Structure 1
């Protein structure tokens, strides 16, 4: 009987030993994880560490910084222009030529009759509004780069003297680009709805927009799926001057 009991105890100890070893291993692993987390955090909250911010948050933050820098740059440029006007030794003809170049380049404010064109995404649950159209794909319901470019090109073709996209004036080096469903313009990020404002002859501008083949194609999606589209007369208004840098980083003048 005694031998049988000793054998049972030995067998039980044999079965428990792997369990104990596994328990010790789990605690050791947990300790290693805690130590690694502490070493990584360096006393900070990992959940709120800046390195783990979403890319979209970083883009928005950079956009806000670019806006602030543009404001500073505009103020410094104004100071430089005021100092230059004190005594620059130029003639009246020189000043008139410079003023004309500044207006053409878009760095000066521009006042005149204006129209605005607003584009917006369709509702996410949009369905065909007309018979015979298939159910929309995701790309059918959002504004694309080509849509914005089509409006800008049509307005230039209609004789626009100046164009503003959202709150920024376009110049010859401006590029209207979209990444996903956001617009990136001159270092700043925008979400729909997108508003494009142009100064010029309102009737000619509207005619040019209506005659654009690209915009006519866009209107098919407006009518079928509800993409946003609005053309308005703004009356007399003033476009801001371009306030960003005008330095060319790649192109160089020909001697």
Structure 2
């Protein structure tokens, strides 16, 4: 039996704790949905799958409303600033792209990961945990693509940014309030050759590929024949708290720029000499 050190640690986390978490979430969702159904007279979902579909549809609808409201707020803010004569600087295009605030298109590639099939070789010889795609696998791919120079990225049908959190419960992916099942598709805009090199250089990705060859996990990398088109990020951008890791410079160059500005500023100090 082949050892899978990078995936063996997942057995405990996806065992009792995962089952308890799923049951707790399911119970809460069923209770909330039952209350809503009684109030609205709508048909109550009969199982977890139907409930997940209902909630996913609701989140999609609410996300569309958020997009419309955000556009309205931006328009009203612009009108208010114009009326008050307030000049507001615009961020550079690079910041808009990195923040996911605008849709983008360009060359790139698509990576697809999938659980092992039912007739997977050596299925009886390995832990079931090795046969499915985990959030660590998705994170490894996405981190490698960022390191390879990806300018923008999409997971399934959603743009991802620096605050996007990839969470898996069982073999179900949760992203920005929506649920997805494999296969999982990551699309990244950037130089395809550089992105491929980054995937090959990632130890975590190569570890996944060894398991893929061993038990049949799905894996494919395809260069885009036409420019990829990624939508703008539609989730919330508000943070309740944040911290900077040790050793990371905050706003590089800012202190030097301030020193230079102080040095080049004209001397406006008033004379302290006596006057007649």
TM-score > 0.5, shorter chain as reference: yes
Give the distance between the partners of 1:183 and 1:101, measured in 2 at CA.
Answer: 28
Name the counterpart of 2:200.
210
Q: 1:73 to 1:215 in 2, by over 3 A?
A: same
Give the distance between the partners of 2:43 and 2:77, measured in 1 at CA.
Answer: 47
Name the counterpart of 1:65.
58
Report the CA distance between 1:85 and its aligned residue.
4.8
| Contact 1:127–1:136 under 8 Å retained in 2 | no
Give the distance between the partners of 1:159 and 1:118, measured in 2 at CA.
Answer: 19
Give the distance between the partners of 1:82 and 1:55, measured in 2 at CA.
Answer: 40
Give the distance between the partners of 1:66 and 1:136, measured in 2 at CA.
Answer: 37
Report the CA distance between 1:227 and its aligned residue.
0.8
**Helix, strand or coil: the match of 1:242?**
coil
1:107 aligns with 2:101: yes
- Once the two structures are superposed, the pairs formed by residues 236-251 of structure 1 within 5 Å of their partners are 236-251=227-242
1:78 aligns with 2:85: no
Name the counterpart of 1:54.
47
Q: 1:80 to 1:100 in 2, by over 3 A?
A: farther
1:145 aligns with 2:145: no
Q: Which runs of 5+ in 2 are unaligned?
A: 1-37, 245-276
| Contact 1:162–1:199 under 8 Å retained in 2 | yes
Give CA deviations for 1:24-69 in whole Å, capped at 9, x if unaligned: xxxxxxxxxxxxxxxxxxxx9xxx983x843343333222211111
Give the distance between the partners of 2:146 and 2:160, measured in 1 at CA.
Answer: 11
Give the distance between the partners of 2:179 and 2:124, measured in 1 at CA.
Answer: 32
1:122 aligns with 2:112: no
Q: Which runs of 5+ in 1 are unaligned?
A: 1-43
- The structure having more radius of gyration, on CA atoms, is 1
| Contact 1:176–1:184 under 8 Å retained in 2 | yes
Give the distance between the partners of 2:160 and 2:205, measured in 1 at CA.
Answer: 20
| Contact 2:97–2:151 under 8 Å retained in 1 | no
Give CA deviations for 1:50-105 in whole Å, capped at 9, x if unaligned: 3x8433433332222111111111122223334445563565x923x265432221
Report the CA distance between 1:146 and its aligned residue.
0.9
| Contact 1:107–1:242 under 8 Å retained in 2 | yes
Aligned residues: 201
**Helix, strand or coil: the match of 1:173?**
coil
Instruction: Provide the TM-score with structure 1 as the length reference.
Output: 0.70
1:168 aligns with 2:163: no
Name the counterpart of 1:94.
89
Name the counterpart of 1:23.
none
**Alpha carbon RMSD of aligned pairs, Å?**
2.8
Q: Which range moves more in the overlay, 223-232 or 187-196?
A: 223-232
Task: Give the one of 171, 188, 191 matched to 1:198.
Answer: 188
| Contact 1:126–1:136 under 8 Å retained in 2 | no
